């Protein structure tokens, strides 16, 4: 007997007090909401930080609080929060927690207690991170890549306490991500319901599953580099610190390798891009299929593309280090692998387009965000081909072209999916629809706004405008047009940033005043929409676990009455009412 069936027979212990139900909850759905709200909260902080930075770039000197020290601190914290504490936590801890058990037909994650610890460790890491704003010297200003020697050498902001708190916070986050990740992977592998084969899983689950494996294998490199750098900072070891002079002083370090840190960091850092991108690929596939009422084109190809991207992502890391100096043959190798990764990625883009082709496209808010994702991801992906080539990368390196590229491809594109996915799954989570009109305003402002912000940055980058600078006024080769453009970008950025309040308002307002959604407002096929209650109760399927007969993409099947056929509908209508034997197994299922 499979262990999932053992669990099916166990009685559910439903928590009753407020504290065990909503605070110290072990229910994957509550943990998912805790993760998501925390992630959105820190994300808003990072958004404010980016606004403050843009004020300095667009209107130099306009804010007294933004001096060079503060600027570098904001830049570092903005990057780190957005990449790790918002996107990683939201996709894996938020969507992963909510959707995996529901989509594969499990009562919960396999180890709910560990899952709960994962959230509390994550919250602890967030608190440590935010605490670094308030310690002497402030947060670290080393840039989100935290390159040594500068990250721990006097002269960089926050070398007293900020960098220590940042590294400790990362280590705690990795513990949290590991505890959660072990749960997600084991649940997908070992706790699927009757008939839920691997190739019947929705692509959302595939994306989150492969991304979690990447997280479990990539975060160790960050953990080790964090430990080593903490030792360099606190114990005076020289893992990453060469013999050097700093501010006229000979430092005590000797014989370390700064390049070692870069290798370790990017061995984590590049898979991290796909830890964020793969769940987005998965979620957006389901959104596009559902809202164009058509099966996803090339499902198996999509799955293998996710797996291939995941595998390749571990052998491209040094394309972030072309300017650090490396053997030209290595540069050749990493440029080649980087360009190869474009093949499965392009395959996915084609398949999304072919899914849309002649589909019954409903221009709902989730669909709008999905279409926007395809366009944004395409632009960001194409500039990735420029930067993947050593000879093109070297002049463009550390310019605004790079800023434009990674914001398009791993900032805006995944965030558009996050928005689309929240609009899509909100009815299941709360039982109410989000407001459509506000949603559409939010969409158009965000989509057009982000293009207006990031598209001109390509031009700035080709002009040679360096990134990470506090002030550009003194640099002669930067033309007036670039300064004007920067002002324009800042105005747009502030507008788009403020417009996100529409989304926050919509989220909380709809909770109380939204239209009643019913169990399956989008008429979708996957299991989470077939739960007996909406929102799903503790245990998801309190009586019998569902039985799956088909893949998750039976939309507009010829000859069917409805334009969607849920996964729980048997092929042969005669089997409509499934018989359960005494042990509670559906008829014909292996005992």
Binding other proteins (rule: CB under 8 A), the pick from 223, 317, 443, 564 is 223
314-317 long-range CB contacts below 8 Å, 24 or more apart?
314/214, 314/217, 314/218, 314/267, 314/270, 314/271, 316/270, 316/341, 317/263, 317/266, 317/267, 317/269, 317/270, 317/271
Region from 56-64, 68-76, 256-264, 275-283 binding other proteins, contact rule CB under 8 A: 256-264
Using CB under 8 A as the binding rule, whether residue 205 contacts other proteins is answered as no
Nearest by Cα to 178 from 206, 218, 146: 218
Site string for other proteins, 525-554 (x = CB under 8 A): ----------------------xxx-----
Site string for other proteins, 103-142 (x = CB under 8 A): -------xx-------------------------------
564 strand-pairing partners: 555
Residues making up the chain, counted from first to last: 591
104 or 402: whose CB is closer to other proteins? Answer: 104
Question: Are the CB atoms for 399 and 464 separated by under 8 Å?
Answer: yes
Question: Are the CB atoms for 179 and 118 separated by under 8 Å?
Answer: yes
The minimum distance between CB 392 and other proteins, in angstroms, equals 29
Backbone angles phi, psi at 230, to 5 degrees: -60, -40
The minimum distance between CB 159 and other proteins, in angstroms, equals 17
Using CB under 8 A as the binding rule, whether residue 235 contacts other proteins is answered as yes
Using CB under 8 A as the binding rule, whether residue 324 contacts other proteins is answered as no
Whole-Å CA distances, 411 to 84, 87, 321, 439, 519? 11, 9, 20, 20, 32
**Max CA distance (Å), the chain:** 85
Region from 38-46, 68-76, 253-261, 487-495 binding other proteins, contact rule CB under 8 A: 253-261
CA dist., res. 240 & res. 147, Å (int): 9
Chain position carrying tokens 């027979």: 9
Using CB under 8 A as the binding rule, whether residue 32 contacts other proteins is answered as no
Give, as ranges, the residues between 182 and 201 that touch other proteins (CB under 8 A).
182-183, 185-186, 189-200
The minimum distance between CB 105 and other proteins, in angstroms, equals 9
The minimum distance between CB 185 and other proteins, in angstroms, equals 5
Number of chain residues interacting with other proteins (CB under 8 A): 58
In sequence order, the 6+-apart residues with CB closer than 8 A to the CB of 14 are: 538, 539
Site string for other proteins, 143-182 (x = CB under 8 A): -----------------------------------x--xx
- Read off the DSSP letter of residue 313: G
Using CB under 8 A as the binding rule, whether residue 2 contacts other proteins is answered as yes
The minimum distance between CB 554 and other proteins, in angstroms, equals 16
CA dist., res. 71 & res. 57, Å (int): 10
Binding site for other proteins (CB under 8 A): 2-5, 110-111, 178, 181-183, 185-186, 189-200, 216-217, 219-221, 223-225, 227-228, 231, 235-239, 242-243, 252, 254-257, 260, 263-264, 267, 547-549, 588-591
């Amino acid at each position: 007997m499979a262990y999932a069936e053992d669990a099916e027979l166990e009685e559910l212990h439903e928590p009753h007090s407020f504290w065990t139900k909503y605070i110290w909850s072990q229910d994957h759905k509550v943990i998912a909401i805790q993760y998501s709200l925390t992630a959105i909260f820190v994300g808003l902080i990072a958004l404010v930080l980016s606004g403050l930075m843009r004020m300095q770039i667009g209107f130099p000197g306009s804010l007294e609080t933004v001096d060079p020290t503060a600027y570098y601190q904001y830049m570092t914290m903005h990057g780190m929060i957005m990449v790790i504490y918002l996107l990683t936590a939201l996709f894996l801890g938020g969507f992963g927690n909510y959707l995996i058990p529901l989509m594969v037909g499990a009562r919960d994650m396999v180890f709910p207690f560990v899952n709960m610890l994962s959230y509390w460790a994550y919250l602890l890491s967030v608190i440590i991170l935010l605490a670094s704003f308030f310690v002497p010297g402030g947060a670290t200003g080393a840039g989100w890549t935290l390159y040594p020697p500068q990250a721990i050498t006097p002269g960089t902001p926050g070398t007293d306490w900020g960098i220590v708190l940042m590294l400790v916070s990362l280590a705690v986050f990795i513990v949290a991500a590991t505890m959660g990740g072990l749960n997600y992977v084991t649940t997908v592998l070992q706790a699927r319901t009757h008939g839920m084969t691997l190739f019947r899983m929705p692509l959302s689950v595939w994306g989150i599953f492969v991304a979690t494996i990447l997280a479990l294998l990539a975060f160790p490199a960050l953990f080790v580099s964090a430990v080593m750098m903490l030792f360099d900072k606190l114990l005076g070891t020289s893992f990453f610190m060469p013999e050097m002079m700093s501010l006229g002083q000979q430092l005590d370090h000797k014989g370390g390798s700064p390049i070692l840190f870069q290798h370790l960091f990017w061995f984590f850092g590049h898979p991290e891009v796909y830890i964020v991108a793969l769940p987005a690929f998965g979620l957006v596939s389901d959104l596009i299929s559902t809202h164009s009422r058509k099966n996803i084109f090339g499902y198996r190809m999509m799955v293998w593309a996710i797996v291939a991207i995941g595998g390749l992502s571990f052998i491209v890391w040094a394309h972030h280090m072309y300017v650090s100096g490396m053997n030209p043959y290595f540069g050749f190798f990493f440029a080649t692998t980087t360009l190869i990764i474009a093949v499965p990625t392009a395959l996915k883009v084609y398949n999304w387009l072919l899914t849309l082709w002649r589909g019954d496209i409903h221009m709902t808010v989730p669909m709008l965000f999905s279409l926007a994702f395809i366009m944004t991801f395409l632009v960001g992906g194409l500039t990735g081909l420029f930067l993947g080539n050593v000879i093109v990368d070297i002049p463009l390196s550390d310019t605004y072209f790079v800023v434009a590229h990674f914001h398009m491809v791993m900032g805006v594109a995944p965030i558009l999916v996050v928005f689309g996915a929240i609009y899509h799954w909100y009815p299941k989570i709360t039982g109410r629809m989000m407001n459509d009109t506000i949603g559409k305003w939010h969409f158009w402002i965000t989509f057009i706004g982000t293009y207006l912000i990031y598209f001109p940055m390509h031009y700035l980058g080709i002009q040679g405008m360096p990134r990470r600078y506090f002030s550009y006024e003194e640099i002669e080769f930067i033309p007036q047009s670039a300064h004007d453009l920067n002002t324009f970008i800042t105005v747009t950025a502030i507008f788009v940033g403020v417009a996100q309040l529409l989304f926050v308002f919509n989220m909380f307002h709809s909770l109380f005043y939204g239209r009643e959604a019913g169990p399956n407002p989008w008429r979708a096929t996957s299991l989470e929409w077939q739960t007996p209650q909406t929102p799903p109760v503790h245990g998801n399927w309190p009586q019998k676990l569902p039985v799956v007969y088909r893949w998750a993409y039976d939309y507009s099947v010829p000859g069917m009455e409805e334009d969607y056929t849920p996964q729980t509908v048997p092929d042969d209508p005669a089997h409509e009412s499934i018989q359960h034997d005494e042990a509670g197994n559906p008829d014909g299922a292996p005992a």
